[in-house]
Amino acid sequence: MGVRRALDKVLTEANKGPGPLYTYGPLIHNEQVMSLLQSKGATPVDDISSVHEGTIVIRAHGIPPEQRKRLKASGLTIIDATCPRVARVQAIVRYHTHKGYSAIIVGEADHPEVIGLKGYGNAKAHVISRLEEMPDLPETEKLIIVAQTTQEKQQYMGIVDSIKKRFPDALVFDTICDATQRRQEEVRALAQLVDAMVVVGGYHSGNTRRLAQIAKSTGVPTFHVETEAELDKEKLSTMGLIGVTAGASTPNWMIRRVVQEIESIRSRKESFLGRAARNGLKLLIQTNVMVSLGAFFLSCAALVLSGRNPDLIYPSLAFLYIYAMHVLNRFLDKGAGFYNDPESALFYNRHRRIIVFSGLAAITACLALSYSISFTTFLAMVGLNILGSMYSLPILPLGRRNLGRAMRIKDIPGSKTLAQALAWGAVIALVPLLEPGRTPWPAALAAFFFVSTVVYVRSAFFDIFQVQGDLIIGSETIAITLGEKRTLLLLKGVLLLGAIVTVLAPLLSFVGPFSYLLLLCYLTLSLCLIAYERKWLYPSTGLEELVEANLLLAGLMGLLWHFFSWPK
């Protein structure tokens, strides 16, 4: 939490615009992330004497009070990104040493966090990292013991037990970060279930090195890597099941790249059919066919909800439109893709010509199909295609860009999710209204509301997974604007509202009883949110597939309902 919080603060400040931005020392122990931050204009400095203006960010490890005083006197704007858990340990050390206690800090003496903690000790703090250093501790009557927040739990308790034998009245504080402790426990448990462990993170990161040590102590082959390029593919190919963990300073996109690289290794223990099925599903996702199929099936459900025969015309129209817009906007707005989904970004670069051609072919087919329905439908689809294309294009004249930040529709905070929901709702539920006399307005509006709410929740949920990548390129999604907790709360509210409308619509005779069956989609989406919130499921391709499956579920229920209830 502390590292992510610090990284988010720096990226948010960097996205505000030009102006000197510094971090007081390296923000985190990860060379790749530090290179990224420098490319965004955030420069690490250890000496502020040559810095006279701008903003400086205190890193998650915290700093000693004398350094904080120098920062305040410098006149720089200060952003304090000290991890709240580290700040708590600083407060414990400061309070008790003021009361006459001596403090023992169990940790690495040269680690920035420990240096900061010692600075709050009023010259009464001592650092030890192993039992052999105990004889060097001075005699004292009043003593407290704290730990560097990323210490290994068992090692800390072993040192504490030895200190208590010499100082039985010592006060012991369990200051190890609960996230660090949980991850260490998870590594021990995970290592018992796999053939090998891969630990992702900087070689200079203390907590990452400890995770690798814990994994090795279980006897399982362990590989500590910073990037996917360092994976030993030859050795990993002999394994059937690989466990992956990462240090606190490892960003999500680096973990994902390593995982995707591991998944691409052909295991000698994997069957041909299993690999073919996995690669086939991955190809459907990477080519946007999966999300387009979701639009196809959602259109089927909307037609049945509207009391119409779910023929292939409008679902095909939805498929072609959604496919074309996803392909187009992938290329117009490819910055975040490198961080959010590096494997798909690489796939797009490798097959650029084919994908661009397929996108243009989809637009052409979409317009041709709409023209075959009616000229009015054709004009509507032309308008929707233009609006969809404008999403990632500048909407302010080049000479006036300095007048505001919202140069594109996508730059408006939260616009991405709302634009997707409205576009899906329009092409799936409103376009069929242009065919005279076929669909009553109340039924169409009920279908529009169902489609829009489902797609809104789907899109905003995916935005939560992609916060780091979106922050890096400066995209203000709803997850960034509101934060994860409030975004999840909003999505629960949208699902509840959708469920209420879905129940009321048949009672008001807007639609038929099929509407009640669609409550299952709201239920399954709610379960996905709860599973993520309670950490039963983590952001992954599997979780995305579960969310996308809701669109297919709606369509399949619609087709089954139509088959069994449509007058023969």
Closest CA to 464 of 448, 482, 447, 449: 482
Q: How far apart are CA 142 and CA 120, in angstroms?
A: 17
Q: Element (H or E) spanning 329, and its range?
A: helix 313-332
What is the phi/psi pair of residue 64, to 5°? Answer: -70, 155
Which residues are bridge partners to 42 per DSSP?
21
Q: How far apart are CA 512 and CA 505, in angstroms?
A: 8
Q: How far apart are CA 132 and CA 162, in angstroms?
A: 11
Q: Which residue has the tokens 């979780």?
A: 543
Active site residues: 113
Q: How far apart are CA 118 and CA 203, in angstroms?
A: 24
Closest CA to 552 of 454, 452, 425: 454
Q: How far apart are CA 277 and CA 411, in angstroms?
A: 38
Give the CA radius of gyration of the chain.
Answer: 28
Helix, strand, coil % in the chain, rounded to nearest 5: 65, 10, 30
Q: How far apart are CA 8 and CA 46, in angstroms?
A: 21
Q: How far apart are CA 223 and CA 236, in angstroms?
A: 9
| Contact by Cβ (8 Å): 149, 180 | yes
Residues 6+ apart with CB under 8 A from 287: 355, 358
Q: How far apart are CA 476 and CA 57, in angstroms?
A: 21
Q: Which residues of 297-312 are buried (b: 16+ CB within 10 A; e: fewer)?
A: bbbbbbbbbbebebee
Q: Element (H or E) spanning 209, and its range?
A: helix 206-217
DSSP conformation class of 193: T
Q: Which residues of 351-377 are buried (b: 16+ CB within 10 A; e: fewer)?
A: eeeebeebbeebbebbbebbeebeeeb
Q: How far apart are CA 258 and CA 228, in angstroms?
A: 5
Q: How far apart are CA 554 and CA 324, in angstroms?
A: 22
Q: How far apart are CA 178 and CA 149, in angstroms?
A: 9
